[in-house]
Amino acid sequence: MTKNNNEIIIMNKNVVLGFFGLLVALAANVHAATMAYNLDNVVWSDPGPEIINGNAAEVNVTVVTSDGKPFTLGNIAGADAINVTAKFTDDLGTQLDVTGDGVEDTFYGTETATAGTYTISINTSAQPGEYTLLLEAVAYNSTTGEVVDSANASIDTYIADPYWVTVFVDEGEEVSVANFKLKLESLTDRGALIVLNNQIDTVTPDSNGVMVRQVDLDGDGVATDWLFIESTDSGVAELKFYSKNNIIPDKISDEVSLESNTVKRNYWLKYRNRYRQVILWDKSPLSWIKSVDYYIIPSKNRNDWKVGWGRGQFGKATIVKRTTYFGIFTNEEKIYEGNIFGKNIKDDAISIKGKWAGTYAYIGNGYWEVLTGICEVKYPSYYEAKFKEAATVADLEFRGKIRSASSKEEINWDVLLSGG
């Protein structure tokens, strides 16, 4: 019995040693080329590169063989063909159609004058969203099908249309974008009840949990634009409209309504290269004793008005509250500083909400910019709204010249106004 056990043990050792030797032999025959890449003619945001529908992105791929040589036929013994490709996949690794022709797309690379460097042109017409871009380089024998050397890389990538409008709305609110009107009746995890151009409709989550619908924004009778509906942490709904056509208005105006003794006003803070400050000036009967004024100051730094598909900064604004006694002594306090869109900022009788952002892809420069930023403000009717496109602090109007010792903070208005 002992002998047999020892024999079994010896046999097991031989099997293990034999298997280990096989692994070593296999490892010696495994080729692992390496790949580096860069993307041009895309938009960059915090989550990653964004390919813009209708604009060819260029992927430059440099591949080095497993023995450190440029990945070209003369350097790979046994291979008579090389394919360098790009394709898009979903979370399950399924290859996707991103050109709208119903066929899964493979984009092929062309070797440049530099050996081992390939250029792939990618032109998409796909639903905006997140994708995986898979790059592969394969050297093989076309007769036997044997893969001699290969490399691959995957990139978290986004696809979007060049024009993007985001609107934050409450339930029961109606908005207009281009020739399109939408009223959000209700929103739950199970779907949204909406009215599209006076037609009741529902949008339910797809297999990825995304509420998306193709719509006709430009009124040409073809639903080629995209509507996304999402809930937010602030309690309002976020509607995102994507289009290949310009849906950002050339002219914008303030909308004003009066409800009882409260003014509701939509006003713009940023319009292309123009920035506007808003002052809510206290004109209540006792304002000569105590006045509470509010200053809404948009940043003039274009970097503070950028955004990506995966969020990122929308538009930076600072809201300062100035309380002045007898028109002499003033307390200053920042009640908000940061991204204003989708926020609901309240202080006493004032409420301010960033509502509308029209965004454009600067493809050559590689970034998104919010061209138009609109806020909704509600305030008592005894306030006067003053609008300033101030270049210097001297252009702004202030009450009180002496800062009170009890002031919560001292505001550097020069820095604030310049957007530094």
Q: pLDDT tens digits for 108-126?
A: 999 999 999 999 999 999 9
Residue 407 has pLDDT above 80, yes or no: no
Check whether residue 347 and residue 265 sit in a common domain: yes
Which range is least confidently modeled, 133-137, 248-252, 315-319, 329-333? 248-252
**Per-residue model confidence (pLDDT) at position 310:** 59
Could you tell me if residue 25 is inside a domain? no
Q: CATH no. for residue 209? A: 2.60.98
Check whether residue 155 and residue 166 sit in a common domain: no
Supply φ then ψ for residue 414, to 5 degrees.
Answer: -65, -45
Could you tell me if residue 400 is inside a domain? yes
Could you tell me if residue 17 is inside a domain? no
Could you tell me if residue 272 is inside a domain? yes
pLDDT digits (tens, 9 = 90+) for 189-204: 999 999 988 899 999 9
Confidence band of 6 (pLDDT split at 50, 70, 90): very low
Provide the domain limits for residue 192: 161-247
Check whether residue 345 and residue 405 sit in a common domain: yes
Closest CA to 274 of 367, 398, 370, 182: 370
Check whether residue 241 and residue 267 sit in a common domain: no
Check whether residue 288 and residue 215 sit in a common domain: no
CA dist., res. 275 & res. 317, Å (int)? 11
- Radius of gyration over every alpha carbon of the chain, rounded to an integer in angstroms: 30
Could you tell me if residue 6 is inside a domain? no
Among the candidates 247, 272, 287, a domain finishes at 247
Could you tell me if residue 20 is inside a domain? no
Contacts of 283 (CB under 8 A, 6+ apart): 382, 383, 384
Q: CATH no. for residue 73? A: 2.60.40.10
- According to DSSP, residue 348 is labeled T
Closest CA to 226 of 203, 207, 209: 203
| pTM listed for this prediction | 0.85
**Per-residue model confidence (pLDDT) at position 30:** 47
Check whether residue 188 and residue 326 sit in a common domain: no
**Per-residue model confidence (pLDDT) at position 312:** 62
Check whether residue 58 and residue 107 sit in a common domain: yes
Check whether residue 218 and residue 294 sit in a common domain: no
Check whether residue 239 and residue 275 sit in a common domain: no
Check whether residue 219 and residue 296 sit in a common domain: no
Among the candidates 199, 214, 247, a domain finishes at 247
Q: State whether residue 146 is helix, strand or coil.
A: coil
Residue 339 has pLDDT above 60, yes or no: yes
CA dist., res. 75 & res. 202, Å (int)? 59
Could you tell me if residue 19 is inside a domain? no
* Mean predicted lDDT score pLDDT of the chain: 88
- Angle at CA of residue 110, ends 107 and 113, nearest 5°: 160
How many independent structural domains does the chain possess?
A: 3
- Mean pLDDT for the stretch of residues 270-293: 96
Check whether residue 418 and residue 354 sit in a common domain: yes
Check whether residue 153 and residue 178 sit in a common domain: no
Could you tell me if residue 347 is inside a domain? yes
Among the candidates 198, 213, 247, a domain finishes at 247
